Structure 1
Amino acid sequence: MVRGERSARLQSDFFERVLPMKIHLASACAVACALAFGLTAARAQTTAPAGDDDLRRELRELRRQLTDLKQQHEQQRASDQERIAQLESEVRRLQNTSIEAQRLELFQQQIEELRRQIDSEARQAPTFEIAQSAGESTNLLNPAITVFLDMGGSVSSRGENNALNRFNLREAELDLRAAVAPFADGVLILAIEEEIEVGRTGEVDISRNFDIEEGYINFHTLPGNLALKAGKFRNAFGRNNVLHTHDLPQVTRPLAVAAFLGPEGMATTGASLSWIVPNPWDKYVEAQLEVVNADNGHESPIIGGPNAENPAVLAHVKLFDDITDTSSYELGATYLWTHTSANHEFAAHTFGVDATYLWTHPDPSKFRSVLVQSELFFTHNDVDGGPFGTRRDSAFGFYAFGQYQFDRDWYAGLRFDYTEYPNSESRGPHDWDAAISPYVSWYITEFLRLRGEYQHRMSRILGDHRSEEAVFLQMTFVIGSHPPHPYWVHR
């Protein structure tokens, strides 16, 4: 994700520096021509008629030199623009696939080389000098600032479900990002969330909490294809967990993710080491190892909370490859080991598998894409068996969805969810929850999105079978610096 953001910053810097530089160069040529004609006219007015032939010859020679200079500049300018367009096209294509870091770094070097050539031409030009304003120089030290607001409303077929029959401000998020070194980026994400919980008696409890959702430093270019992240961050468990609420492809997070990792997913404090694995097949393979606190227990039923014995250990590996020029796939596997309480004998072993397929139309102007994604979760965890000591519970869950982009701004999809409940005091060992959810997303602008989702939900809770119909409406908008789109968006 971070590398995709670096790509977006690269393009922004490219358009802020390179293109204005070319415009100044063309303007300078025009000024030079005007000065030349003005000087010639002045000389013609102060010279005797007998020197008219000499003046005409000098004027023709000067005009010829200026014409040659202009033609040379236009040829060089056309060549530069063609190369720039090729590099921009390659950068956009890399953004639409995955984080092919090595290839992206190569294109970055080529763009930097082209920028140095243009700077060199500007310094050698005799008629003008390019100077960066103090404002532009200072702006390089400022972070990219983005505000996300995610709000909506829902209505349920169960009138007594006051958690759904209401409007709500789901999340307001402040995102700050900046390079703190040539090899490191700093990220701070602050969030105010509205949490709505329903007790066993049906009473609704609403709380608005301020939280540091993420705050970390990312050393992204360490030797040996390594990267290190330290701080609080969203853990690399599968595909959905790494997404913030406003970046989800649907209004709601999958039931299995909420049941296994928590309603907002899993985000803990610690360190994450990633390695792009060299291999003889020339495939993109990334391995990650995270050692973090087991303090997500108020959100996740399989992580013990602040009193649990630390640490929790997570390992994730993923493979990305192109199938054709317009289609690709990604496969991932995750293992999480953690204590579920302060008792070191109580532990949980959680496994995850994820798969993603993406197709985009060969003609980018058609704005057509197909996305298919699924994740499976399985856990063995120890629970208190009372007088019989420790016993082990197992639970399984998964989700799958397909999404079709039928216009530049429109996406439609269908998701199916099924989950059991790992280590939940309010659920029985044979309880389950399932849902079918069609949805549609509309990007009104780059900064404003509307979405609607219908959910048919079926469940077995403590032996009681229930069903519920619900409609969700969501509005998400962005203020400030535009971040890179999530992987499921193609514009």
Structure 2
Amino acid sequence: MRKLPLLIAATLFSLRLSAQAQTQTSTSAQFDSQRQQQYQYSTFSAMSAPVVLPMDGKVDKADWLTGMDVSLWDKIFPHAHLDTVYGTSSVDQEELAVGHHDPIRRDGVTLQNIEFSLSGRLDKHNEFFVTLAGAVDGDDHFDPIFEEAFWKFKNLPGGFELRLGRVYNRFGIQNTYHPHGFDWVDQYLVNTRMLGDDSLTTLGAELTWLAPLPWTSQFDLAIGRAPSHDGHHHHEDEEETRYAADESYFGDDDLLYVLNWTNVMNYNDFHQFRAGMSGAWGDNLSGYRTSVYGAHFEYQWRENGFESGGRYFRLRSEAMTNRFRVEDEIDDTRSPEAQQDFGCYLSALYGLPNNLEIGLRGEFASGNSETGRDSRFRVSPGLTWYANQARTMRFRLQYNYDNSNTRGEDHAVWAQFSLAWGGPEVR
């Protein structure tokens, strides 16, 4: 009897690859497979866990406790998320925080994220996603915004799909995640250094093509305007220098181009590899040009393959570099010199059958004396426990060892509590 589910899973997976080769892949395959208790991976998924979440497959038996299968007319699916953290740090935490949703309270509770979303799966060609989210800043202000709001046309001829609206761009891996999908309490150093305190976002169009290959090879091209970041500036403190590092970020309402290439290959049912490259180009806040380049890699192992349960291991890494020119703050008659930064991270997670997840993260961001950016190295061991199989409630403990060439050594300890309600989101 145990071989039958494996045979079904293998057959479904083979059919999926065959469909890709014929450029007829449906991006709703992940959602359908979840409702059939199958475990499939999709590059369109923003789920953080190494496995996607199961669903019971019966719409008339909605689980109102977890939100799984709860919908309006089996087409519109609501989601709600809450992330809050308590902890302490050796210095004022706002000096260490880099992301908009990072902990900011030293010896206090930070309300990191409140989020309400709707996913629409209307038919085989039309989907939509909209999310309203916000965090409490250091002045106790809560400023929610529509972080994403897009319409998606899928299953288009030739293996294409199109997203129109405000989207978190498919740049590398981490950029597509909302805070409830983070593997760690705080955002990666390299993402904030290169892309800003929130995810790289465009208001426009993003075209995706799945190449007719035996493995998943996905190309994404986004063209749009960079949205205004009012109320979202929360970058690291910088010295008075010749060039202002914050000016290197893509300018509000300026045209932005984002290109991403991701490949996902299943060696077998138990081992999966993901790798690719990304780039983003546009005018920055100084009116000059900024270019960002990235490479990403991920390896996943699941003890039970496409069946549920069992142990898992995931190794993920991203590296980014940029090149930019910004106004000379000292001599405005001087032509500004090109500046460059580099950063990377390596994250490892090991999951146990009792819903316990052990993690270790290492990060590095290079310094730049011309822009006042410090060289920073951070190591973070972490422990996460999911209260149920649906992973709608989690408790996370994390320690940060932080070393900067300007501040020296710093330490922080965080305890995070997160609640999620609802099924998989449209991505």
Q: TM-score w.r.t. structure 2 length?
A: 0.75
Could you tell me which residue of structure 2 aligns to residue 453 of structure 1?
398
Number of the residue aligned with 1:357: 299
1:17 equivalent in structure 2: none
Indicate if the aligned counterparts of 1:267 and 1:296 stay in contact, CA closer than 8 A. Answer: no
Which structure 2 residue ranges, 5 or more long, are not aligned? Answer: 1-24, 46-68, 95-103, 236-245
Give, in angstroms, the shift of residue 449 of structure 1. Answer: 0.8
Q: For residues 168 and 180 of structure 1, what CA distance do their matches in structure 2 show?
A: 37
Distance of aligned partners of 1:141 and 1:99 in 2 relative to their CA distance in 1, 3 Å threshold: closer
Work out the CA distance in 2 between the residues paired with 1:485 and 1:404: 27
Alpha-carbon distance in 1 for matches of 2:225, 2:275: 27
Q: CA RMSD in A?
A: 3.0
Determine the structure 2 residue equivalent to 1:259: 193
How far residue 247 of structure 1 moved from its aligned partner, in angstroms, is 0.6
- For residues 211-226 of structure 1, the aligned pairs below 5 Å read 211-226=145-160
Amino acid corresponding to residue 381 of structure 1 in structure 2: F
Q: Which residue of 2 aligns with 1:287?
A: 219
Contact 1:318-1:333 at 8 Å conserved across structures: yes
Taking a change above 3 Å as real, the CA distance of residues 458 and 206 of structure 1, as seen in their structure-2 partners, is farther
Q: Which SS does the other structure have where 1:454 is aligned? A: strand
Give the superposition deviation at 1:484.
6.3
Counterpart secondary structure, 1:194: coil
1:7 aligns with 2:24: no
Contact 1:156 1:471 in 2 (8 A): yes
- 1:140 equivalent to 2:81? Answer no
- The one-letter code sitting in structure 2 at the alignment partner of 1:478 is A
1:154 aligned partner, one-letter code: G
> In the alignment, which residue of structure 1 is the partner of 2:348?
402
Pair 305,295 (structure 1): closer, same or farther in 2 beyond 3 Å: farther
Provide the rounded CA distance (Å) in 2 between the counterparts of 1:173 and 1:139: 19
Residue number among 383, 391, 397 corresponding to 1:440 in the alignment = 383
Per the alignment, residue 87 of structure 2 pairs with 154
Structure 1 Cα separation of the partners of residues 301 and 93 of structure 2: 43
Once the two structures are TM-superposed, the CA of residue 142 in structure 1 deviates from its matched residue by 5.5
Change (3 A) 1:323 1:6: closer
Query: Is 2:265 the partner of 1:321?
Result: yes
Shift of 1:235: 0.9
Distance in structure 1 (CA, Å) of the matches to 2:325 and 2:258: 18
Q: Which amino acid aligns with 1:177?
A: S
Q: Secondary structure at the match of 2:227?
A: coil
Does residue 424 of structure 2 align to residue 483 of structure 1?
A: yes
Instruction: Describe how 1:150-229 pairs up with structure 2 within 5 A.
Output: 150-158=83-91, 163-196=105-138, 205-229=139-163
Query: Is 2:76–2:122's contact at 8 Å kept on the other side of the alignment?
Result: no
Q: Which secondary structure state, in structure 2, belongs to the residue aligned with residue 407 of structure 1? A: coil
Give yes or no for contact 1:4–1:484 (8 Å, CA) kept in 2.
no
Structure 2 CA distance, aligned partners of 1:3 and 1:440? 35
Q: Does 1:248 align with 2:182?
A: yes
Q: Deviations over 1:270-306 (max 9, x none)?
A: 1100000124xx2211111000213356658433432
CA pair 421-225 structure 1, distance change in 2 beyond 3 A: farther
Residue type of the alignment partner of 1:207: H
CA–CA separation in structure 2 for the residues paired with 1:151 and 1:266: 23
Offset of 1:169 from its aligned partner? 1.1
**Per-residue deviation at 1:258?**
1.5
Structure 1: 5+ residue stretches without partners = 13-87, 101-135, 197-204, 487-491
Which residue number in structure 2 is paired with residue 200 of structure 1?
none
Q: Which shows bigger deviation, 361-370 or 440-449?
A: 361-370
Q: Could you tell me how far apart the structure 2 residues matched to 1:342 and 1:264 are? A: 19
Given that 2:88 and 2:105 are in contact with CA atoms closer than 8 Å, whether structure 1 keeps it comes out as: no
Residue equivalent to 1:341:
285
Q: 1:323 to 1:399 in 2, by over 3 A?
A: same
* Identity across matched positions, percent: 21
The question of whether the paired residues in 2 share the 8 Å contact of 1:295 and 1:303 is answered with no
Q: Could you say what secondary structure the match of 2:143 adopts?
A: strand
* Contact residue 214 and residue 233 of structure 1 kept, 8 A: yes
Q: Is the 8 A contact 1:296 1:303 kept in 2?
A: no
Q: Say if 1:384 and 1:391, in contact at 8 Å, map to a contact too.
A: no
SS of the residue aligned with 1:377?
Answer: strand
Instruction: Give 1:485 deviation, angstroms.
Output: 12
The 8 Å contact of residues 154 and 470 in structure 1, kept in 2 or not, is answered as yes
Residue pair 2:402, 2:411 contacting (<8 A) in 1 also: yes
**Partner AA of 2:384 in structure 1:** S
Q: Partner amino acid for 2:226?
A: A
- Whole-angstrom CA distance in 2 between matches of 1:330 and 1:274: 17
Amino acid at match of 1:151: T
* Counterpart code for 1:391: E
Equivalent in the alignment of 1:393? 339
Q: How does 1:3-42 map to 2 (within 5 A)?
A: 7-8=30-31, 12=35
C-alpha contact 1:352 1:376 (8 A) present in aligned 2: yes
**Distance in 2 separating the partners of 1:421 and 1:271:** 34
Quote the offset at 1:333 in angstroms.
0.3
Cα offset, 1:421, TM superposition: 5.8
Contact 2:75 2:122 in 1 (8 A): no
Asked whether the 8 Å contact 2:209–2:220 carries over to 1, the reply is yes
Contact map agreement 2:250 2:290 (CA 8 A) in 1: no
Aligned equivalent of 1:105: none
- Larger gyration radius, structure 1 or structure 2: 1
SS at match of 1:390: coil
Give the Cα–Cα distance (whole angstroms) in 1 for the partners of residues 228 and 171 of structure 2.
Answer: 14
Tell me if structure 1 keeps the 8 A contact 2:401–2:412.
yes
